[in-house]
Amino acid sequence: MSHQCWWWKKLLLNIYSSILFYTSIPLPYLNGLDFQGVAHIAPFVGLVIGVILGLCDAGMNYLGMPVLTRSALVVSIWIAITGGLHLDGAMDTADGLAVGDPKRRLEVMADSATGAFGAMAAIAILLLKTTALTDISENRWLMMMAACGWGRWGQQLAILRYPYLKPTGKGAFHKQAIRSYKDLLPGLLLLCSLSGLLWLLNGKHLFLALGMIFTGIAIATLTGAWFNHKLGGHTGDTYGAVVEWTEALFLCVLTTLGS
């Protein structure tokens, strides 16, 4: 097998592994899959999720479904595709941050039971996504792709910049995968290209395309920094929280940029 063929096979297996790890899409398990490097493909997986959501939204729009109902169903499908993985992390993080004693926060976050603050965080995220999508009338499929992509790029940034607070866990091997800013470039270029696609499809949206890039970078950076400030580092739960809050806040800002 040539080196080029080997490289493509490895890339496809990494993408396959990442989709299995980050989503509940019912793909068959293959022998020899390596999940150690799934964080490298996370933004691409986000775009895949966005494409699926966009197709579902377009189908419901074709059937004449009102925008609010359509948006609520899309957000519900959003949860189903990810298996609630990131939303669960956002809920656990909210419960942990609600504890006054910083030393007990990780212990509370590790508890599988959802507390009041976790439930409120989930409600806030779902409301923000639903209402923001309702206010976005054009290029909804592309906006959802961008939101999913930037959320996972924010996760990559948090993995690189901040210490991991647990010796083990699902997020522990992510720290070994993302080691330098070079590892962030493929996802960043992919997301910038997505904004460029918006401009190509409609030249009048140059401001929106540039705004999407700066908004994505800013929100993805600030959410990770905020959780690090509160906890002194990150865990698998906070990685999920970064994804969810970046997605929700990104869509909210787009409602202003789009207008």
Residues 142 and 43: beta-carbon distance below 8 Å: no
**What is the average per-residue pLDDT within 116-121?**
92
5-37 per-position pLDDT tens digit: 666 777 787 888 889 999 998 888 777 777 788
Burial letters 132-168, b for 16+ CB under 10 A, else e: bbbebeebbbbbbbbbbbbbbbbbbbbbbebebbbee
Let me know the angle formed at the C-alpha of 246 by 77 and 94, rounded to the nearest 5 degrees.
85
Nearest-CA neighbor of 187 among 175, 178, 176?
A: 178
Q: What is residue 146's predicted lDDT score, i.e. its pLDDT?
A: 95
Nearest-CA neighbor of 45 among 145, 177, 141?
A: 145
Residues 77 and 59: beta-carbon distance below 8 Å: no
Average pLDDT, rounded, for the chain? 89
Spacing of C-alpha 211 from chain mean position? 18
153-189 per-position pLDDT tens digit: 999 999 999 999 877 666 677 888 888 999 999 999 9
CA distance 160 to 30: 29
Q: What is residue 4's predicted lDDT score, i.e. its pLDDT?
A: 62
> Does residue 252 or residue 13 have the better pLDDT?
252
Which percentage of the chain shows pLDDT scores above 90?
Answer: 61
Q: What is residue 179's predicted lDDT score, i.e. its pLDDT?
A: 86
CA distance 149 to 247: 8
Tell me which of 1-15, 61-75, 130-144, 215-229 is least confident. Answer: 1-15
CA distance 186 to 46: 13
